Amino acid sequence: MKMGKKKFGFLQKPRKVADVSGAGDTVISTLTLALASGATITEAAYIANFAAGIVCEEVGIVPIESTKLFSVIRGYLK
């Protein structure tokens, strides 16, 4: 992805995708919340990407608890 003159990408992790329902809504809402909380667009995109990945591992439209989201991100960054 290219923003201005800087390029960045997402590190990918294979996931067991069960259902993609709600993934787009999850990205939009998580991205918006992260930006409203002061994250940069790059930080917000990373957080939203993780959130969508978690949702896709569940069947149906499911909410994400912030504790689970941050736990997954912390585990990935170790």
Indicate the SS3 state at residue 2: strand
Among the listed residues 25, 43, 57, 65, the single catalytic one is 25
Q: Is 25 a catalytic residue?
A: yes
Q: Please, what is the Cα angle at 53 between 62 and 11, to 5 degrees? A: 165
The beta strand positions in the chain, using DSSP E, are 2-3, 6-7
- Give the residue numbers annotated as catalytic, written as ranges: 25
